[in-house]
Amino acid sequence: MKRLLGFLLIGIPLAIVVAIILALDGEPLVLRGEALNPEAVGQARELFRANDPRQLRRGDQREVVIPVSLLDEAANFLAGRYLKGRGAVILSARFTELRFTRALPAGRYLNLRVAVDLGEGEPRFRSAAIGSLPLPPVLVEKGILVLLRTFNRESEWNSARGAVRALAADSEATNLVVRYVWEPDLVRQARAVAFDPADLARIEFAQSALAAVLDHRAAGSPVPLAEVLQSLLADAGSDSRARRKAVLLVLGVYLYDKDLAVLIPQARQWPRPRRVSLMLARRHDSAQHFTISAALAAWAGEPAADAVGLYKELDDARRGSGFSFADLAADRAGTRFGEAIAQGAPNLEKAVGGKLTEAEFMPSLADLPEYLHEPEFRRRFGGPGSPAYRRLAEEIERRIAALPLYQ
In order, the DSSP letters of 165-231 are EEEEE-TTS-EEEEEEE--THHHHHHHHHH--HHHHHHHHHHHHHHHHHHTTSPTT-EEEHHHHHHH
Q: How confident is the model at residue 157 (pLDDT cuts 50, 70, 90)?
A: confident
Listed as own residue / partner, the contacts of 33-37 with beta carbons closer than 8 Å and 24 or more positions apart are 34/76, 34/77, 34/80, 34/86, 34/303, 35/303, 35/306, 35/307, 36/73, 36/76, 36/77, 36/303, 36/304, 36/306, 36/307, 37/69, 37/73, 37/307
Of 338, 314, 339, give the one whose Cα is nearest residue 327.
314
Q: What is the mean pLDDT of residues 127-145?
A: 90
State percent of the chain over pLDDT 90.
63
Say whether 104 sits in a helix, a strand or coil: strand
Instruction: Tell me the residue type at 272.
Output: R
Which of these ranges, 48-52, 229-233, 334-338, has the smallest mean pLDDT?
48-52
Give pLDDT, residue 8: 44
User: What's CA 331's distance to the chain center, in Å?
Assistant: 15
Q: Where are the domains of the chain?
A: 25-192, 195-406
Tell me the C-alpha distance between 363 and 326, whole Å: 10
Q: Residue 102's beta-bridge partner residues?
A: 110
215 has pLDDT over 70? yes
225 has pLDDT over 90? yes
Per DSSP, helices labelled H in 84-196 are: 137-150, 154-163, 185-194
10 has pLDDT over 60? no
The pTM score is: 0.86
**CA quadruple 116, 117, 121, 125: dihedral, nearest 10:** -40
Say whether 77 sits in a helix, a strand or coil: helix
User: What's CA 155's distance to the chain center, in Å?
Assistant: 23
Give pLDDT, residue 363: 97
